[in-house]
Structure 1
Amino acid sequence: SKDTAEVDMHIWELVDDYSRMTNTEMLDIQLGYFEKCLQSAIDHKYRRVVFIHGVGSGKLKEEIKATLDQMDFVDYKPANMSQYGVGATQVDIRSNS
């Protein structure tokens, strides 16, 4: 199994032009990307994924945690601060070890 995948979830990494998007639309895109990347990491037998969500309003981080709380095969915690600052969450996938 592979070790760690890193996913940058900043909206400017995901769409070319977000100037006309509402916060809700941006959040929906980011959450869809989060779920797709997590599933892909599981499928490809990664043990850990670091999601870089930034600080912002904290809404994205809240939604990520709410999603992860429904999954019994993952653990999560804030990612390494010296490496990522405060805007990242580390997800450990138990089923892949």
Structure 2
Amino acid sequence: AKKLAPKTPSVLDTLGWAYYKRGDIDRALENILQAVKLGTNEADVYYHLGLVYMKKGMRGKAREAFRKALELNPKFDKADEIRRLLGGG
């Protein structure tokens, strides 16, 4: 998929999320960060980035990513979960 659409944020995010689910956190971070650098406005990408950062123990960066997800879409389907992870906001 990455070879067919290497510059597509949604493809990079999906690939990164698949790596996350498999436990390959470094590859997950690499792909999701590429999606962010390409200029995505999708809250899900920042939600995924936050979870990857949490898994790596990078809580400050995770909070930044979660806040960006809420900024982009305060009502997306993971917003309540993010608010819990942030400790209420």
Range of TM-score over shorter length? 0.3 to 0.5
Which of 1 and 2 has higher RCO (CA within 8 Å, sep 6+)?
A: 1
Structure with more of its chain in strand, by fraction: 1
TM-score (norm 1): 0.35
User: TM-score, normalization: structure 2?
Assistant: 0.37
Higher helix share: 2
